Amino acid sequence: MSSISPHKSLRAKLWKVLFAGYVFALVTSTHIPPRFPLLPRNHTDKLAHFLAYTVLAWLLAMAWQASTGWLNGRHLRFAWLAIIAFAALDEVTQPLFGRTASVWDWLADATGAALGILLFTLVRSGLKSMKFDKFNS
């Protein structure tokens, strides 16, 4: 018999599905040929990268913590490194689809991922200090 409550298990599955769906949408959107009319242009492209990877990092941390329990600093550093490795892979595969790989896009991704991890820790700490223990149960 599992010691994990059905509610926690369902919440963990939900976060995993949200994360996986977001990864799918992100990879799809970063590999659309450049002629697609809804793609951001120029400076807004860096903002889109930054925000996309902020959300990606936050979703990863939420899914991981919901599945395994409290994440410590080592876990969060690993999450950030995994995300920036994923971002590098995302960038280097874009030329296969007529897109341009950019170190500036990757830096926006890495910075956004750092913000996502930071926001996760700040929200989690704020909820814990307010005694919202259900966040982690």
The parent domain of residue 41 ranges over 6-135
Q: Is the pLDDT of residue 137 over 80?
A: no
Q: How many domains does the chain have?
A: 1
Task: Report pLDDT digits (tens) over 7-40.
Answer: 789 999 999 999 999 999 999 999 988 776 666 6
Task: Report pLDDT digits (tens) over 64-75.
Answer: 999 999 999 999
Domain membership of residue 10 (yes or no) is: yes
- pTM: predicted TM-score of the whole model, two decimal places: 0.85
Give dist(CA 61, CA 115) in Å, integer. 12
Give dist(CA 94, CA 100) in Å, integer. 6
Any idea which residue has 């689809």 for tokens? 97
Three-class SS string for the chain? CCCCCHHHHHHHHHHHHHHHHHHHHHHHHHCCCCCCCCCCCCHHHHHHHHHHHHHHHHHHHHHHHHHHCCCCHHHHHHHHHHHHHHHHHHHHHHHHHCCCCCHHHHHHHHHHHHHHHHHHHHHHHHHHHCCCHHHCC
Domain membership of residue 17 (yes or no) is: yes
Domain membership of residue 23 (yes or no) is: yes
Task: Report pLDDT digits (tens) over 75-97.
Answer: 999 999 999 999 999 999 999 99
Give dist(CA 60, CA 92) in Å, integer. 22
Domain membership of residue 1 (yes or no) is: no
Domain membership of residue 61 (yes or no) is: yes
